[in-house]
Amino acid sequence: MSTERPKKQISAQIDANLKRVFEEDLDQDLPDRFKDLLAQLKAQDGGSAAGGNK
Amino acid sequence: MTAPNPRDEIVEHLKPLRAFALSLTRNSAIADDMVQDTVVKAWTNIDKFKAGTNMRAWLFTILRNTYYSNRRKAKREVADVDGVMTNGMAEKPAHDGHLQLRDFRRCFVQLSDEQREALLLVGASGFSYEEAAGMCGVAVGTIKSRANRGRKRLAELMQINEDEAMEMTDRVTMAVVSASGASAA
């Protein structure tokens, strides 16, 4: 009763799905908290990074 | 001219990093916390990053280590969340791309962490088996067999999924048929 599909085809389909799932997640906008976080880290760092305030 | 600060490069990898975290956890709150932890760790340990090596691989490695240490702490919370599994049940089986992807996600979360990770690194994010092995701290053959076992398991789960969907459709059809049959009688 089972319609066995060729193994290779299934494997290729799985990898294609994996990529699509991953790309779907990649397309999401980054939450602002990460921009804030980087800005905060940069500020804490003070002198060593570019900017030169203090 | 000052030497480029590798810290400035971190921002370019945030999206892939978050996608990796989302695929591992399927929970955006946990994923975002993990990305945040990773960024802070990378920032403070930037001296451990070897210039000229793959920054993304380095960040992914930090993230997966974060994931596993959180995991050990919290033991297994349900991987569902974001309603991936809960919503699924109400959907009727269909064969348009979007629902298929949802089905796929639902099957994917049932794999072991190791299998998901191998498939994500190699199958989805395009790292080589060698890179993935380095990131996970295991032999290349281990990554290969994890990925292959993961694919095999996914194929089984998708098949089960399809069979169940068919069965469900059959049952609904039967119900409709017998109901209309009854009213006709």
pLDDT value of residue A51? 43
Taking the Cβ of residue A39 and every Cβ of chain B, the question of whether any pair is shorter than 8 Å is answered with no
Cβ within 8 Å, pair A21-B23: yes
Those residues with Cβ within 8 angstroms of residue B10's Cβ, 6 or more apart along the chain or in another chain: A38, B39, B42, B43, B55, B59
pLDDT value of residue B85? 44
B149-159 confidence digits (pLDDT tens): 999 999 899 88
Looking at residue B93, the DSSP 8-state letter turns out to be P
pLDDT value of residue A13? 82
Looking at per-residue pLDDT, the higher value among B183 and A38 belongs to A38
Best residue in A3, A34, A37, A44 to probe B by mutation, most B CBs within 10 Å? A34
**Alpha carbon separation from B66 to A46, B60, B70, B85 (Å, rounded):** 27, 10, 6, 25
What's the pLDDT band for A29 if we cut at 50, 70, 90?
Answer: very high
B-side interface with A, Cβ within 8 Å? 2, 5, 7, 10-11, 14-16, 18-19, 22-23, 32, 35-36, 39-40, 43, 100-101, 104-105, 108, 119-120, 123-125, 151, 154-155, 158-159
Please say if the pLDDT value at position B41 is more than 90.
yes
Average pLDDT over residues A32-50: 82
Chain A CA closest to residue B152: A11
Best residue in B13, B23, B116 to probe A by mutation, most A CBs within 10 Å? B23
Cβ within 8 Å, pair A30-B15: yes
Please say if the pLDDT value at position A1 is more than 60.
no
pLDDT value of residue B18? 96
Average pLDDT over residues A9-29: 88
pLDDT value of residue B88? 41
Q: Tell me which of B75-84, B144-153, B157-166 is least confident.
A: B75-84
Cβ within 8 Å, pair B40-A25: no
Chain A CA closest to residue B41: A41
Q: Is A20 a domain residue?
A: yes
Dist. CA B125–CA B135, nearest whole Å? 13
The token pair at B109 is 């979360």
Parent domain of A34: 7-45
Q: Is A36 a domain residue?
A: yes
Please say if the pLDDT value at position B83 is more than 80.
no
Taking the Cβ of residue A43 and every Cβ of chain B, the question of whether any pair is shorter than 8 Å is answered with no
Q: Is A14 a domain residue?
A: yes
- Among residues B117, B108, B72, the alpha carbon closest in space to that of B88 is found at B108
Q: Is A52 a domain residue?
A: no
CB B55 within 8 A of CB B160: no
Please say if the pLDDT value at position B123 is more than 90.
no
The owner of tokens 């349900």 is: B78
ipTM: 0.74
* B147 phi/psi in degrees, rounded to 5: -65, -45
pLDDT value of residue A53? 40
Domains of chain B (ranges plus CATH)?
Answer: 1-84 (1.10.1740.10), 91-157 (1.10.10.10)
Q: Is A50 a domain residue?
A: no
Instruction: Using the CB atoms, write b or e for A9-39: b if 16+ within 10 Å.
Output: ebbebbbebbeebbeebbeeeeeeebeebbe
Domain count, chain A: 1
Chain A residues lying within 8 Å of B123, measured CB to CB:
14-15, 18-19
Interaxial angle between packed helices B140-184 and B129-136, expressed in degrees from 0 to 180 and rounded to the nearest 10 = 100
B88-104 confidence digits (pLDDT tens): 444 444 455 556 788 88
Q: Is A23 a domain residue?
A: yes
The reported pTM is: 0.75
Angle at B121 between CA A42 and CA B36, to 5 degrees: 25
